[in-house]
C-alpha cells in the first residue's frame, strides 16, 4: 500500500504556476460563503458554494463514507481505497450545484484525514490519478484547466478544478460545462480560483 502512495507522489508538479495555461477564464458569478446544511454532518458547515447556483437534482449532496465514495463517486475504486485507508479517512462531504442557466455544474468534495501530513499525501494521490498539465494561477491550491471533446456525450467539455488542504482536511473543487460541437467554451478558472481561496480560508479558520 505504501508503495502505491509513494508512486503517486513521484513527479508531482508545483502548484499555482502559470505554465501551460492555454485557456482563458470565463466571467464568474460572485461566489459567497454560503454553506450547505442539507445533512447532519459537521463538514456541511465547511462547504463554500457559489452565489446564485441552485441545487442539482441529478447529483447527490450530503455526507459519504469510504464505501459510499468508492461505490458512487470514485473513478478508480481500488486505487482510491488504498489512498483512503492510508490517510486514515474519517468522513467526507459532497455538494453539487448548477448555474442559473444550468450550463455549469459545480462540485466540491471534502475529505477528513487522520492528520495534516496524511491529508497532504491524500491530496497528492488524488491529483496524480489524471494527467493535469495545464495549471493556472490559484494561490495556495493545486489547479488545472482544460477543454476537450467528450466522446461519451459528443460535446465539447471544459473543466476547471482545484484542490486545497487545510489541517487534516482536503477539498476537491470542479466547475464543468459542455457545449455542442462547433461551439467554443473556456474553463471557468475565475470562478474556481475565487472558490478555492474562499474554501481554504474557511477550512483554515475552522482548523485553527
| Rounded CA separation 130/83 (Å) | 15
| Rounded CA separation 54/9 (Å) | 36
Rounded to the nearest integer, the mean pLDDT of the chain is 83
Q: Cell numbers 485557456 label which residue?
A: 23
**Three-state DSSP state, 124:** helix
| Whether residue 34 has pLDDT greater than 50 | no
| Whether residue 31 has pLDDT greater than 60 | no
Report pLDDT digits (tens) over 125-141: 999 999 999 999 999 99
pLDDT, position 206: 66
Nearest to 145 by CA among 168, 174, 184, 179: 174
The count of other CB atoms within 10 Å of the CB of residue 113 is 24
Dihedrals phi, psi of 95, to nearest 5 degrees: -135, 140
Report pLDDT digits (tens) over 83-115: 999 999 999 999 999 999 999 999 999 999 999
| Whether residue 33 has pLDDT greater than 50 | no
Residue ranges with strand state E in the chain: 31-34, 49-50, 54-55, 62-64, 91-98, 104-112, 142-150, 155-166, 169-180
Question: What residues pair up with 111 in beta bridges, in sequence order?
Answer: 92, 170
Amino acid at each position: 500500500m505504501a508503495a502505491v502512495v509513494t508512486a503517486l507522489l513521484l513527479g508531482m508538479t508545483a502548484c499555482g504556476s502559470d505554465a501551460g495555461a492555454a485557456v482563458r477564464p470565463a466571467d464568474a458569478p460572485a461566489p459567497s460563503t454560503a454553506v450547505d446544511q442539507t445533512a447532519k454532518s459537521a463538514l456541511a458547515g465547511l462547504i463554500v458554494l457559489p452565489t446564485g447556483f441552485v441545487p442539482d437534482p441529478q447529483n447527490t449532496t450530503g455526507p459519504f463514507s469510504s464505501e459510499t465514495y468508492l461505490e458512487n463517486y470514485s473513478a478508480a475504486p481500488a486505487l482510491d481505497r488504498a489512498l483512503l485507508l492510508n490517510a486514515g479517512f474519517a468522513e467526507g462531504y459532497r455538494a453539487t450545484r448548477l448555474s442559473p442557466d444550468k450550463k455549469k455544474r459545480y462540485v466540491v468534495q471534502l475529505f477528513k484525514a487522520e492528520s495534516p501530513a496524511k491529508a497532504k499525501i491524500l491530496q497528492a494521490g488524488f491529483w496524480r490519478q489524471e494527467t493535469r498539465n495545464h495549471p493556472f494561477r490559484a494561490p495556495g491550491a493545486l489547479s488545472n484547466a482544460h477543454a476537450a471533446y467528450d466522446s461519451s456525450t459528443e460535446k465539447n467539455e471544459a473543466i476547471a478544478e482545484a484542490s486545497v488542504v487545510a489541517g487534516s482536511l482536503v477539498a476537491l473543487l470542479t466547475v464543468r460545462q459542455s457545449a455542442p460541437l462547433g461551439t467554443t467554451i473556456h474553463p471557468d478558472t475565475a470562478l474556481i480560483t475565487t472558490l478555492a481561496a474562499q474554501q481554504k480560508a474557511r477550512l483554515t479558520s475552522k482548523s485553527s
